[in-house]
Every structure is written in structure tokens, then in C-alpha cells.
Amino acid sequence: MSYTNEQVAHLVEGTLDWETTFRMLSMPKDNSRFAQYLAALQAKVGFPDRIVLPLGPHLYIVQSARDKKWLIQCDCGHAFCGYKDNWKLHAAIYVRDTEAAMTEVYPALMAPDTRWQVYREYYCPSCGTMHDVEAPTPWYPVIHDFEPDIDTFYKEWVNLPLPERLD
């Protein structure tokens, strides 16, 4: 089973017809999907750096076009940090830890007690895109939620040559 680049681009946009989407969901994954998926994402972003792995709807690990370093980068081209760092520590952070701040997003009495749970929102400092929200207890450290083994993923899972990396 394989799909055209156009179909994968529609998938990324959320405009793929249901029948094709259903087939994709219920069949084993097509071999060329990851490469096509990257190509579709690459065509959407404005920066010249090569996408290595998407991390979120607007967040990627990229290979810098300038020096081949791997960075975590926003849609807008803002680079947070090296790909092994916790990008959240380099983001603009807004913490909802008061009842007033909670009632901005939830009706009164339907939000958590902020002595037990707070919301931490992580934004791109340059374009303001929200990349993640955490809901931890107030004292909990910033969560480093994903440390992908990209080498294994490229070599053993998707069978693609690993993009060059200068550390």
C-alpha cells in the first residue's frame, strides 16, 4: 500500500478524504510514509533547515542549514536549543496558579485547586505559538517528555539514511 505525496500533504492539513484516511488507519503502515510526511512538513515551513523529526504540531528537530547542528525549532524559525536539551527551559512560560487565572480557561468550580495542580503553558518567545501545556503539582520540575533515539529510528524503523549531524 502506498500513497501519493499529495495525499500525505492532505493528511497533514487534515483535508484527506475519509475513505483514504480509513484505509491508512486500518492497514499496516506504508513503507514510504515517514519520508513523504517529512516532505509535506518541509514544504509548509518557511525556514531552509531540514526537518529531522517533528516534535509537535509546530515544533521540529531540524538540521541547521548553516552548520549542520541539530536544533529544536519553531514553525517561525526560532531555534530553542540543541536537540538533546529540554526546549521548555528555553520557552516563554506562563503558569496558571491562581483561581483567577484558572477561571479564564474553565468555568468557576470546574478547574483544579491550584494548591494541588497548576497549568504551565510553554510559548515560542518570538511568534507566541503555544507548544505545550503541562498539568503538574506546583512543585514538580519542568518535564522533559521526549528523548527520541533518532539514530535507531532512522536505521531500524524507517530504513532511511541518518541526516548528517555536527555536535
Partner 1 sequence: MQSEQSNVQVMGIDAGGTMTDTFFVRADGRFVVGKAQSNPEDESLAIYHSSVDALAHWQREVDDVFPELVTCVYSGTAMLNRILMRKGLAVGLICNKGFEQIHSMGRALQSYLGYALEDRIHLNTHRYDEPLVPVARTRGVTERTDVQGRVVIPLREEDVRQAVRELVEAGSQAIVICLLQSHKNAASELRARDLAREELARLQVDIPVFASVDYYPSRKESHRMNTTILEAYGAEPSRQTLKKVSDRFKKHGARFDLRVMATHGGTISWKAKELARTIVSGPIGGVIGSKLLGEYLGDENIACSDIGGTSFDVALITKGSFAIRSDPDMARLVLSLPLVAMDSVGAGAGSFVRLDPYSKSIKLGPDSAGYRVGTCWPESGLDTVSVSDCHVVLGYLNPDNFLGGAIKLDVQRAREHIKAQIADPLGLSVEDAAAGVIELLDLTLSEYLRANISAKGYNPAEFTCFSYGGAGPVHTYGYTEGVGFKDVVVPAWAAGFSAFGCACADFEYRYDKSVDLGLAQFASDELKAAACATLQQAWQELAVKVIDEFVINGFQPQDVLLIPGYKMQYMGQLNDLEIVSPVSSAATAQDWDRIVASFETTYGRVYASSARSPELGFSITGAILRGMVVTQKPVLPEDPDAGPTPPPQAYLGTRPFYRHKQWREAALWKMEALKAGNHITGPAIIESDATTFVVPDGFETTIDKHRLFHLKQVK
| Residue for grid cell 524503523 | 157
Residue 18 found at the interface with partner 1 (CB under 8 A)? yes
Cell of 11: 493528511
Q: Exposed, middle or buried: residue 60 (CB in 10 Å: 0-12, 13-18, 19+)?
A: buried
Taking the least distance from each CB to partner 1, the nearer of 4 and 98 is 4
Taking the least distance from each CB to partner 1, the nearer of 30 and 121 is 30
Taking the least distance from each CB to partner 1, the nearer of 18 and 116 is 18
- Supply the DSSP string of 98-113, one letter for each residue: SHHHHHTTS-TTSS--
Q: Which of 13, 23, 89, 159 binds partner 1 (CB under 8 A)?
A: 23
Residue 15 found at the interface with partner 1 (CB under 8 A)? no
In whole angstroms, the minimum distance from the beta carbon of 60 to partner 1 comes to 24
Residue 14 found at the interface with partner 1 (CB under 8 A)? no
Residue 139 found at the interface with partner 1 (CB under 8 A)? no
Taking the least distance from each CB to partner 1, the nearer of 30 and 132 is 30
In whole angstroms, the minimum distance from the beta carbon of 33 to partner 1 comes to 12
Here the contacts of 149-152 (C-beta below 8 Å, separation 24 or greater) are: 150/52, 150/53, 150/61, 150/83
Residue type, 97: D
- Contact, 43 vs 9, CB < 8 A? yes
Site residues (CB under 8 A) for partner 1?
1, 18, 22-23, 25-26, 28
